[in-house]
Amino acid sequence: MPRQLVLDLPVRAATGRSDFFVSPSNALAVAQIDAWRDWPQRKLLLIGPGASGKTHLCHVWAAAAGAVVVPADSLTTDAIPALAAHGAVAVEDADRIAGDPAAETALFHLHNLTLAEGGALMMTARALPNAWPLGLPDLASRVQATPIATLQPPDDALLAAVLVKLFTDRQLQVQPKLVQYLLKRMDRSFAAAQSIVADLDRVSLASGRKISEKLASEILSSDDISKDGSAV
């Protein structure tokens, strides 16, 4: 069968509050985000594995608090006054700047200025603060003193909702039985959900085949997927 041209179309991720599925594995973290006006010290650190919903919740909070969202590795000292002036700031992937003196210094000053001016600060990370190899002791002490909200590994209900959302973000409609089929066979992680949905979308487009349990079975049982879209 001739291969179809695969267009690199944008994925439209839904990041609104109503698009975030609450389950027992994340309910406490969501409640802490919703209660942001009562945060001790007006700051919070959101911890969770890759693709666990940290960015989604970050944007939910930003919409509620009128915050600006910035990647930690883009912080510069010159930008701190303007960021702090927003009154609320969300810093994504804060743990990834450990070992970068300039970025650590910028986050330290952003933390101090934002809170000194009565604002609120949210940070996200994959690891707990004691696992960050920070070189700046003053930043380390402030991060370790920050209250923590944790996104737990997904339960069945949450993982099913994530799969549906990932398909929807790609404007793909699938049957509920396919979602249940995937749940029983895939690795139980958000990263695995992202990977299988992306592979199904890519292989379906390249081969002209419908997204189905059969196609999912071929992808899940394959050690690799060739670049032209065929399972190998």
Q: What is the pLDDT of residues 43-94, one digit of tens each?
A: 999 999 887 889 989 999 999 999 999 999 999 999 999 999 999 999 999 9
Evaluate if residue 9 carries a pLDDT over 50: no
DSSP-derived letter for residue 188 is S
Phi-psi category of residue 52: left, alpha or beta, with phi > 0 → left and psi -120 to 50 → alpha: alpha
Name the residue among 153, 156, 164, 121 with its Cα closest to residue 14: 164
* Mean model confidence pLDDT for the chain: 87
Strand-pair partners of 90: 69, 122
Average pLDDT over residues 138-146: 98
Evaluate if residue 147 carries a pLDDT over 70: yes
The confidence band for 18, taking pLDDT boundaries of 50, 70 and 90, is low
Cα end-to-end span (Å), the chain: 16
User: Which one has a higher pLDDT value, 119 or 18?
Assistant: 119
